[in-house]
A = this chain, B = another copy of it.
């Protein structure tokens, strides 16, 4: 075992989660969202398995360079670029046959002036999130011919994680009201979390990212969804403290008599949030289940100190590693314990981790 952490990604679990979503509706295509390097998991590997084994033929990325990176893994797929188009990226669109999700009247003008490829563009429309997208008024001002050039109309929900939020129905109504403008186009309103709002939110394409990666955006599928990532880190040293000793920066952790700590080889330099200091825990596997040890003191760049006073001696002696993410403690729990959401927790670790990265 090397001193660096071990980040393990279960590609079969991603495929399994994708197939779960596919079974929900025969009329709706499930696209794979692989932006941000598939939330740090690895866009090439994810695209490859979804394309070859899942039959996925639509992918969403944020930037043209991300689309270029996956093109060879999904040669016949539609690859949509969510931030839209800028003239400086025309060559990337042309070489990789990417589809921009045009988000402003300026982007529309630039795209049709340059027309880097023969793909029908997609259009981001504003329905209430007030992020990217053009308004109904701006849509009405386009000519019929211009509107006929769009193959996919997209919007994005602001409150899909809260089924009771009035904004969901309001966004749905606004989205439906745009259908007459685009009689030939496909429509897509929901991402992973839109599934829990029911079939009226599905339209032609649902853009699935988070759910594929083990983030529980769909409580009723919790039982079926598989855990995707696991993370372990090496215990370098175990120390017996005495009452009055402190540990870590600022001396924040105060020991009692008999306190035992372990120094673990992972830190905020690996994307583990520094605020994990407050509510963080790591896990030891026992024969039957898991037991946790709390983080002691502040997380530093390369190390984590944990309180292992209550961990049985036979476990401490035989286990060289602690688990930070596993099927029992997922990125959702890590997100909650660090005051954020699973999406950010996964992305931060996926990008920051210095690890042996294995795909199974």
Contacts from A to B (Cβ < 8 Å): 1-4, 35-36, 39, 62-66, 82-86, 88-89, 103-104, 107, 126, 128-133, 158-159, 162, 165, 167, 234, 236-237, 239, 241, 245-251, 253, 255, 261, 263, 265, 268-269, 271, 273-275, 300-303, 305, 339-341, 343-344, 347-348, 351-352, 354
Contact = CB atoms under 8 A, between A and B. Distances in A.
A300 B263 contact: no
A226 B234 CA distance: 37
Integer count of this chain's copies in the complex: 2
From DSSP, what is the main secondary structure of chain A's interface residues?
A: loop
B274 A341 contact: yes
A342 B348 CA distance: 16
A2 B68 CA distance: 15
Nearest to A352: B351
* Of A130, A255, A339, most B-chain CB atoms within 10 Å: A130
Nearest to A249: B158
Contacts of A35: 269, 301-302
A136 to B, nearest CB: 13
22 contacts: A2-B88, A3-B86, A3-B89, A4-B65, A35-B302, A36-B301, A39-B301, A62-B269, A62-B301, A62-B302, A63-B354, A86-B234, A107-B236, A126-B239, A129-B247, A130-B247, A131-B303, A158-B250, A269-B347, A274-B344, A301-B344, A351-B352
B352 A158 contact: no
B348 A167 contact: no
A126 B246 CA distance: 12
Contacts of A159: 249-251
Contacts of A86: 1-3, 234
A354 B350 CA distance: 13
B246 A167 contact: yes
A274 B275 CA distance: 13
Nearest to A270: B36
Contact of A132 (B88, B263, B271): B263
Contacts of A88: 1-2
A341 B299 CA distance: 12
Contacts of A302: 35-36, 62, 82-83
B36 A251 contact: no
A352 B348 contact: yes
A41 B91 CA distance: 28
Nearest to A234: B86
B354 A36 contact: yes
A59 to B, nearest CB: 15
A21 to B, nearest CB: 19
Nearest to A345: B274
Contacts of A245: 130
A100 to B, nearest CB: 10
Contacts of A89: 2-3
Nearest to A341: B274
A348 B250 contact: no
Q: Considering the complex of A and B, which 8 residue pairs feature the smallest CB-CB distances, nearest first?
A: A36-B269, A130-B247, A62-B302, A351-B352, A104-B237, A274-B344, A2-B88, A351-B351
